[in-house]
Chains A and B, each alone.
Chain A
Amino acid sequence: MKYSLNPSWKFLVRNWKSGELQLIAFAIFIAVVCITSMVFLTESIQAGLEDTSGSLLGSDWVITSPKPIEEEIVKKTHHLGLKTTTTVNFLTMLTRKTTDGSFSRHVSKTALKRAMPKYDEELVLAEVQAVGKNYPLRGQLRTAVQLFAKDEIASSIPEKGTVWLEARLFPILGLEIGDEVIIGSAFFKVDRVLTNAPDRTLEGINMAPRVLINEGDLGATKILQPGSRVTYKLLIAGQDENLKQFKNWVTPKLTPTETLIDSRQSRPVLNIALQRTNRYLGLIFLVNVSLSGVAIAMVARRFSLKQFDSVAILRCFGASGWWILKRYLSNLLLLSLIVGALGISVGLSIYNALKSLFLNEMLFELPGLAITIPVIIGLCTVFVLLFGFALPPLLSLQKISPLRVLRKDLDPPNLSNRLVFLFAILAVTFLIMFQTRDVELTGILVLLTLGISSVGLWVIYGLLQWVSRVGQFLIPLQNLGGIRRRGRENALQILAFSLVLTFIGALFLVRTDLLRTWKDQIPFQAPNYFVVNIPPTLLASFKAFLQEGSINSVHLDPVMMGRLVSVNQEPVKMQIDLSNEKQRVFTRLLNLTWSQKLQSDNRVVEGQWFSESDNGKGVISVERGFADRLNIKLGDKLDFQISEKRITAVVTSIRTVEWDSFQPNFYVIFPPKTLENLSRTYITSFYLPPEKINFIKKIVQNFPMVSVIDTQMIVNQLKSFFDTISDLVQYLWGFTLMVSFILLFAAIISTLDERREEAILLRILGAGQRQLLWILLSEFVLLGLLAGTIGGISANGILYWLSQTVFDLPYRINYEVLLLMPVIGMVLVGFGGWAGTRSVFLTPPYRAFR
Chain B
Amino acid sequence: MGKDRLNKENRSKIRNMFIRAEHLTKKVAVGSHSLTILQDISLDIEQGESLAVVGVSGSGKSTLLGLLAGLDMPTQGRVVLDKVDLNTLNEDQRAKMRAKNIGFIFQNFQLLSNLTALENVMLPLELHGMKEPDKRAKELLEKVGLIERLQHYPKQLSGGEQQRVAIARAFVIRPRILFADEPTGNLDQKTATNIIHLLFELNQHYHTTLVCVTHDPLLGKRCKRMLHLEGGQLVS
CA distance A561 to B100 in the complex (A): 99
CA distance A2 to B96 in the complex (A): 11
Q: Contacts of A323 on B, CB cut-off 8 Å?
A: 127
CA distance A773 to B96 in the complex (A): 50
Cβ contact within 8 Å between A322 and B66: no
Cβ contact within 8 Å between A2 and B129: yes
Cβ contact within 8 Å between B115 and A318: no
Question: Is B44 interfacial (CB 8 A cutoff)?
Answer: no
**B31-68 near A? 1/0 per residue, CB < 8 Å:** 00000000000000000000000000000001101100
A6 interface neighbour in B104, B110, B126, Cβ under 8 Å: B126
Q: Contacts of A509 on B, CB cut-off 8 Å?
A: none
Cβ contact within 8 Å between B92 and A320: yes
8 Å CB contacts to A: which residues of B137-165? none
Cβ contact within 8 Å between A315 and B131: no
A318 in contact with B129 given A310-B112, A406-B181 (CB within 8 Å): no
Interface centre among A14, A313, A321, A401 (most CB of B within 10 A): A313
8 Å CB contacts to A: which residues of B96-147? 96-100, 102, 104, 106, 110, 112-115, 119, 123-124, 126-131, 133
Q: Contacts of B131 on A, CB cut-off 8 Å?
A: 5
Cβ contact within 8 Å between B71 and A18: no
Q: Contacts of A316 on B, CB cut-off 8 Å?
A: 71, 98, 104, 110
8 Å CB contacts to B: which residues of A1-22? 1-6, 14-15, 17-19
Cβ contact within 8 Å between A317 and B99: yes
Cβ contact within 8 Å between B92 and A403: no
Question: Is A402 interfacial (CB 8 A cutoff)?
Answer: yes
CA distance A15 to B104 in the complex (A): 23
Cβ contact within 8 Å between B71 and A402: yes
Question: Is B91 interfacial (CB 8 A cutoff)?
Answer: yes
Q: Contacts of A18 on B, CB cut-off 8 Å?
A: 113-114
Q: Contacts of B119 on A, CB cut-off 8 Å?
A: 14
Cβ contact within 8 Å between A1 and B114: no
Q: Contacts of A318 on B, CB cut-off 8 Å?
A: 95-100, 102, 124, 127-128
Question: Is B72 interfacial (CB 8 A cutoff)?
Answer: yes
Q: Contacts of B99 on A, CB cut-off 8 Å?
A: 1, 317-319
A1 interface neighbour in B63, B65, B106, B128, Cβ under 8 Å: B128
Kindly provide the distance from the CB of B38 to the nearest chain A CB, expressed in whole angstroms.
Answer: 13
Cβ contact within 8 Å between A321 and B106: no
Total residues of chain A contacting the partner, CB 8 A:
30
CA distance A445 to B64 in the complex (A): 55
Q: Contacts of A14 on B, CB cut-off 8 Å?
A: 112, 114-115, 119
Question: Is A314 interfacial (CB 8 A cutoff)?
Answer: yes
The residue on B at minimum CB distance from A399 is: B91
Q: Contacts of A4 on B, CB cut-off 8 Å?
A: 129
The residue on B at minimum CB distance from A404 is: B71
A314 interface neighbour in B92, B106, B127, B130, Cβ under 8 Å: B127
The residue on B at minimum CB distance from A10 is: B126
Q: Contacts of B133 on A, CB cut-off 8 Å?
A: 5
Kindly provide the distance from the CB of B126 to the nearest chain A CB, expressed in whole angstroms.
Answer: 4
Cβ contact within 8 Å between A313 and B91: no
The residue on B at minimum CB distance from A312 is: B110
A317 in contact with B113 given A5-B129, A401-B72, A402-B71 (CB within 8 Å): no
Kindly provide the distance from the CB of B220 to the nearest chain A CB, expressed in whole angstroms.
Answer: 19
CA distance A588 to B141 in the complex (A): 99
Cβ contact within 8 Å between B106 and A405: yes
Cβ contact within 8 Å between A314 and B129: no
A17 interface neighbour in B97, B102, B114, B129, Cβ under 8 Å: B114
Cβ contact within 8 Å between B65 and A406: yes
The residue on B at minimum CB distance from A318 is: B99
Cβ contact within 8 Å between A313 and B127: no
Cβ contact within 8 Å between A406 and B71: yes
A5 in contact with B123 given A315-B95, A318-B100, A406-B65 (CB within 8 Å): no
Q: Contacts of A5 on B, CB cut-off 8 Å?
A: 126, 129-131, 133
A319 interface neighbour in B110, B114, B127, Cβ under 8 Å: B127
The residue on B at minimum CB distance from A850 is: B155
Q: Contacts of B92 on A, CB cut-off 8 Å?
A: 320-322
Cβ contact within 8 Å between A321 and B71: no
Q: Contacts of A3 on B, CB cut-off 8 Å?
A: 129
The residue on A at minimum CB distance from B153 is: A17
8 Å CB contacts to B: which residues of A283-320? 309-310, 313-320
Cβ contact within 8 Å between A405 and B71: yes
Q: Contacts of A405 on B, CB cut-off 8 Å?
A: 71, 104, 106, 110
Kindly provide the distance from the CB of A19 to the nearest chain B CB, expressed in whole angstroms.
Answer: 8
**B61-82 near A? 1/0 per residue, CB < 8 Å:** 0110110000110000000000
The residue on A at minimum CB distance from B61 is: A406
CA distance A310 to B115 in the complex (A): 10
Q: Contacts of B127 on A, CB cut-off 8 Å?
A: 1, 6, 314, 317-319, 323
CA distance A309 to B111 in the complex (A): 10
Kindly provide the distance from the CB of A415 to the nearest chain B CB, expressed in whole angstroms.
Answer: 15
Q: Contacts of B112 on A, CB cut-off 8 Å?
A: 14, 310, 313
Cβ contact within 8 Å between B71 and A401: yes
Q: Contacts of A406 on B, CB cut-off 8 Å?
A: 62-63, 65-66, 71, 106, 181
CA distance A18 to B130 in the complex (A): 25
CA distance A336 to B39 in the complex (A): 50
8 Å CB contacts to A: which residues of B190-220? none
The residue on A at minimum CB distance from B101 is: A318
A403 in contact with B71 given A14-B115, A15-B114, A315-B95 (CB within 8 Å): yes
Kindly provide the distance from the CB of B178 to the nearest chain A CB, expressed in whole angstroms.
Answer: 12
Kindly provide the distance from the CB of A716 to the nearest chain B CB, expressed in whole angstroms.
Answer: 62
A403 interface neighbour in B72, B96, B124, B130, Cβ under 8 Å: B72
CA distance A406 to B182 in the complex (A): 11
Kindly provide the distance from the CB of A305 to the nearest chain B CB, expressed in whole angstroms.
Answer: 15
Q: Contacts of A310 on B, CB cut-off 8 Å?
A: 112, 114
CA distance A421 to B124 in the complex (A): 34
The residue on B at minimum CB distance from A406 is: B62
The residue on B at minimum CB distance from A315 is: B95
The residue on B at minimum CB distance from A310 is: B112
Q: Contacts of A1 on B, CB cut-off 8 Å?
A: 96, 99, 127-129
Q: Contacts of A403 on B, CB cut-off 8 Å?
A: 66, 71-72
Q: A314-B127, A406-B71 are in contact. List 20 more A-B contacts (CB 8 A).
A: A3-B129, A5-B133, A6-B127, A14-B115, A17-B114, A18-B113, A310-B112, A313-B110, A315-B95, A316-B71, A317-B127, A318-B96, A318-B97, A318-B100, A320-B95, A405-B71, A405-B106, A406-B62, A406-B63, A406-B181
Can you spell out 18 A-B residue pairs with CB atoms less than 8 angstroms apart? A1-B99, A2-B129, A3-B129, A14-B119, A18-B114, A19-B114, A314-B123, A316-B98, A318-B98, A318-B127, A320-B91, A321-B91, A403-B66, A403-B72, A405-B104, A406-B62, A406-B181, A407-B62
A interface residues with partner B (beta carbon < 8 Å): 1-6, 14-15, 17-19, 309-310, 313-323, 401-403, 405-407
Q: Which 7 A-B pairs have the closest CB atoms?
A: A318-B99, A2-B129, A18-B114, A320-B92, A6-B126, A318-B98, A17-B114
